[in-house]
Chain A
Amino acid sequence: MMSNTYDLQTFQGLIFTLQDYWMRQGCMVAQPFDMEVGAGTSHPMTFLRSLGPEPICCAYVQPSRRPTDGRYGDNPNRLQHYYQFQVILKPSPDNIQDLYLGSLKELGFDPTVNDIRFVEDNWENPTLGAWGLGWEIWLNGMEISQFTYFQQVGGLECFPVTGELTYGLERLAMYIQGKNSIYDLVWAKTKTGVVTYGDVFHQNEVEQSAYNFEYADTDFLFKMFDQMERESAELLKLENPLPLPAYERVLKAAHCFNLLDARHAISVTERQRFILRIRTLSRAVAEAYYHSREKLGFPLCRRAEEAK
Chain B
Amino acid sequence: MSVSNLLLELGTEELPPKALRRLAEALAANFTAALKKESLSFETVKWYATPRRLALYVKALADKQPDQIIEIKGPSVKAAFNADGTPTKAAEGWAKSHGIDAKDAEILKTDKGEWLYIKQDKPGTAAAALVPDMFRQALAALPIPKLMHWGDKREEFVRPVHTLCMLYGDQLIPGTILGVESSKIIRGHRFLGQQTVTIDNADSYVETLRSQGAVIADYDERKAAIKAKVAELAASVGGEADLDDDLLEEVTSLVENPHAFLASFEERFLQVPAEALVYTMKGDQKYFPIYSKGGKLLPKFVFVANINPADPSTLIAGNERVVRPRLTDAEFFFKTDRKHSLEYFYQRLENIVYQKDIGTIAYRSTVVADTAAYIASLIGADENLCRRAAHLAKCDLATTLVTEFTDTQGIMGMHYAELDGEDPAVSKAIFEQYLPRFAGDAIPTEKVPMAVSLAEKAVTLTGIFGINMLPKGDKDPYGLRRAAIGLIRIAVENGLNFSLRDVIAKCAEVLGDKVKAANTVDSVCDYVFNRLKAYYQDRGIGAEIFQAVLSVKPQSLVDFDQRVKAVQKFKQLPEAEDLAAAYKRVNNILSKADVVSGDVNESLLQEAAEQALVKHILTLKPEIDSCYQSGSYEQALTKLAELRADVDSFFEQVMVNAEDPALKQNRLLILSKLAAILSTTADISVLY
A interface with B by C-beta (< 8 Å): 76-77, 91-94, 97, 101, 111-120, 122, 132-133, 135, 139-142, 149, 151, 158-161, 163, 175, 180, 267-269
> Of the 9-residue stretches B305-313, B491-499, B612-620, which lies at the interface with chain A?
B305-313
The answer on a CB contact under 8 Å between B321 and A142 is yes
The answer on a CB contact under 8 Å between A91 and B285 is no
The answer on a CB contact under 8 Å between A141 and B14 is no
The answer on a CB contact under 8 Å between B14 and A120 is yes
Q: Which residues of A contact B285 (CB under 8 A)?
A: 141
| Complex: A180 Cα to B190 Cα, angstroms | 30
Partner of B306 from A115, A120, A180 at Cβ < 8 Å: A115
Q: Which residues of A contact B191 (CB under 8 A)?
A: 111-112, 116
The answer on a CB contact under 8 Å between A91 and B254 is no
Closest 6 CB pairs of A and B: A140-B318, A160-B152, A118-B14, A91-B152, A115-B305, A120-B16
Partner of B325 from A77, A114, A122, A133 at Cβ < 8 Å: A77
The answer on a CB contact under 8 Å between A141 and B146 is no
A-B contact pairs, 13 of them (CB 8 A): A111-B190, A111-B307, A112-B191, A112-B307, A113-B311, A114-B315, A115-B305, A115-B307, A116-B191, A117-B306, A119-B254, A151-B146, A160-B152
| Complex: A269 Cα to B358 Cα, angstroms | 13
The answer on a CB contact under 8 Å between A76 and B151 is no
| Complex: A97 Cα to B353 Cα, angstroms | 45
The answer on a CB contact under 8 Å between A133 and B159 is yes
A-B contacts, CB under 8 A, total: 102
Q: Which residues of A contact B152 (CB under 8 A)?
A: 91, 159-161
Partner of B323 from A92, A132, A133, A141 at Cβ < 8 Å: A141
B472 within 8 A of A: no
* B274 CB, min distance to chain A CBs, angstroms: 20
* B308 CB, min distance to chain A CBs, angstroms: 9
Given contacts A115-B307, A141-B285, contact A120 B17 (CB under 8 A): yes
The answer on a CB contact under 8 Å between B151 and A91 is yes
Given contacts A92-B150, A112-B309, contact A140 B353 (CB under 8 A): no
Partner of A267 from B15, B149, B353 at Cβ < 8 Å: B353
The listed residue with most B CB atoms (<10 A of its CB), out of A91, A112, A114, A140, is A140
B322 within 8 A of A: yes
B350 within 8 A of A: no
Chain B interfacial residues counted at CB < 8 A: 42
| Complex: A116 Cα to B314 Cα, angstroms | 12
| Complex: A237 Cα to B542 Cα, angstroms | 63
B18 within 8 A of A: yes
The answer on a CB contact under 8 Å between B314 and A140 is yes
| Complex: A267 Cα to B356 Cα, angstroms | 11
- Provide the B321-333 mask, 1 if CB < 8 A to any CB of A, else 0: 1111100010000
The answer on a CB contact under 8 Å between A93 and B151 is yes
The answer on a CB contact under 8 Å between A149 and B307 is no
The answer on a CB contact under 8 Å between A133 and B192 is no
The answer on a CB contact under 8 Å between B13 and A122 is no
* B111 CB, min distance to chain A CBs, angstroms: 63
| Complex: A217 Cα to B324 Cα, angstroms | 37
| Complex: A76 Cα to B159 Cα, angstroms | 36
Q: Which residues of A contact B314 (CB under 8 A)?
A: 113-114, 140
B303 within 8 A of A: yes
Q: Which residues of B contact A135 (CB under 8 A)?
A: 14
B51 within 8 A of A: yes
Given contacts A77-B325, A113-B314, A141-B322, contact A97 B151 (CB under 8 A): no
Q: Which residues of A contact B18 (CB under 8 A)?
A: 120
Within 8 A of A (CB), among B127-169: 146, 148-152, 159-160, 162
| Complex: A262 Cα to B148 Cα, angstroms | 35
B319 within 8 A of A: yes
Q: Which residues of A contact B315 (CB under 8 A)?
A: 113-115, 140
Q: Which residues of B contact A158 (CB under 8 A)?
A: 149
Q: Which residues of A contact B318 (CB under 8 A)?
A: 114-115, 139-142, 175
Q: Which residues of B contact A114 (CB under 8 A)?
A: 307, 314-315, 318
Q: Which residues of A contact B353 (CB under 8 A)?
A: 267-269
Q: Using CB atoms, name the residue of chain B closest to A97.
A: B13
Given contacts A140-B314, A142-B318, contact A161 B17 (CB under 8 A): no
Q: Using CB atoms, name the residue of chain B closest to A101.
A: B190
Given contacts A94-B162, A115-B305, A122-B146, contact A161 B151 (CB under 8 A): yes
Q: Which residues of B contact A116 (CB under 8 A)?
A: 190-191
| Complex: A119 Cα to B159 Cα, angstroms | 12
The listed residue with most B CB atoms (<10 A of its CB), out of A76, A113, A141, A161, is A141
Partner of B309 from A113, A117, A149, A175 at Cβ < 8 Å: A113
* B257 CB, min distance to chain A CBs, angstroms: 11
| Complex: A114 Cα to B318 Cα, angstroms | 8
